[in-house]
Amino acid sequence: MAGREAAKNVLRTQRIELPSWAFGNSGTRFKVFAQQGVPRDPFEKIADAARVHAHTGVAPTVALHIPWDEVEDYTVLARAASDAGIALGTINANVFQDDDYKLGSVTNPDPAIRRKALDHLFACVDVMDRTGSRDLKLWFSDGTNYPGQDDIRARQDRLAEALAAVYERLSADQRLILEYKLFEPAFYTTDVPDWGTSYAHCLRLGERAKVCVDTGHHAPGTNIEFIVAFLLREGKLGAFDFNSRFYADDDLIVGAADPFQLFRILFEVKQAGGLDQDSGIAFMLDQCHNIEPKIPGQIRSVMNVQEATAKALLVDTEALAAAQAAGDVLGANGVLMDAFNTDVRPLLAELREEMGLDPDPMAAYARSGYADEIVAGRVGGNQAGWGA
């Protein structure tokens, strides 16, 4: 088994980005469930994200979604984050919630609508300039529902043209992160349906265009760790959106559906040096907490990523390599299973104490009184949530 101290050294520097929208109201396609104490503006979202970081110690940035997190002065928002002990991270664009985008945004057959979508993407880069954010993450709901509805190849041409324009607008220290999704809301064709499509577009764009792997955006049974290993090998893995799915894009707490899969993914990341501080990979949560409380849901999510990472770090790679070289199939698999079956919770509790944190973040939050504080204090105004 690999060394505990070596594992703790990596875990101590691990960084997991939180999504601002995880703190707002959300629900199923049929109902949004409101909770008490939900943020009413981006500043209160930042306060909640800072609370997660205060208890976990490894979540020092929060991603924004524009226009959900639109404010008059982003330098003021960045200062508020800094005062709370965190920073603003990835900027996520939204070209899927406007009536004009019914037939697509940047791939829409109407050039005026394509221009509108592109202007929004440029505006998101402007936000990056003011917040100091490195990454612009793009996800497009663009696609078609029926054969013959539009020209599939022409839509790829329009997509490539828009991506090239955005990439050109970025500064030398900014990156374009292209997310993919198998289906939904388009059911016949999706314009960026898989990692290969995203990879092909990023390859054409240049070095600072990378792929985002959302763990819920694949067909059932997809070997996600293979995708991760391939993209790492090509230097094209830019970010993760961590969540879990049982049937479709369920956006559940990461590690809830298949913790073994999360372990396998993070082992490939570790093997390729992706856990190094200079790897450039953004490890972000992308989840909606519909029936569970928001802040504890994020704390649990961070802890799940930490536990899977710790297990990946404890794999005896020398024994694994020896078994692989000898063709020892069961021996090699056994090395991985030994690490996965290790209870790493005592190691992480020990690490948190060394970092000056409570060894049990969930219990610490429950004792903090913060939940009662925000319920009492956030009365009136409009709660943030889906579409806010």
Closest C-alpha among 117, 123, 154 to residue 139 = 117
The secondary structure element, H or E, covering residue 64 is strand 61-65
User: Which two structure tokens, joined as six digits, stand for 308?
Assistant: 């899977």
Residue 261 lies in a domain: yes
Residue 246 lies in a domain: yes
Residue 375 lies in a domain: no
Residue 178 lies in a domain: yes
Reading the chain (388 residues) residue by residue, the pLDDT tens digits are 458 999 999 999 999 999 999 999 998 778 888 999 999 999 999 999 999 999 999 999 999 999 999 999 999 999 999 999 999 999 999 999 999 999 999 999 999 999 999 999 999 999 999 999 999 999 999 999 999 999 999 999 999 999 999 999 999 999 999 999 999 899 999 999 999 999 999 999 999 999 999 999 999 999 999 999 999 999 999 999 999 999 888 899 999 999 999 999 999 999 999 999 999 999 999 999 999 999 999 999 999 999 999 999 999 999 999 999 999 999 999 999 999 999 999 999 999 999 999 999 999 999 999 999 999 999 998 999 876 5
Domain count, the chain: 1
Residue 322 lies in a domain: no
- How many whole angstroms separate alpha carbon 347 and alpha carbon 359? 10
The secondary structure element, H or E, covering residue 74 is helix 74-83
CATH number at residue 303: 3.20.20.150
**Phi–psi pair at 354, nearest 5 degrees:** -65, -30
One DSSP character per residue, 129-161 reads HHHT--EEEE----EESSTTSS-HHHHHHHHHH
- How many whole angstroms separate alpha carbon 61 and alpha carbon 89? 5
Q: What domain range is 33 assigned to?
A: 15-314
Against a cut of 0.75, is the pTM above it?
A: yes
Residue 341 lies in a domain: no
Strands 32-33 and 26-27 come out as antiparallel
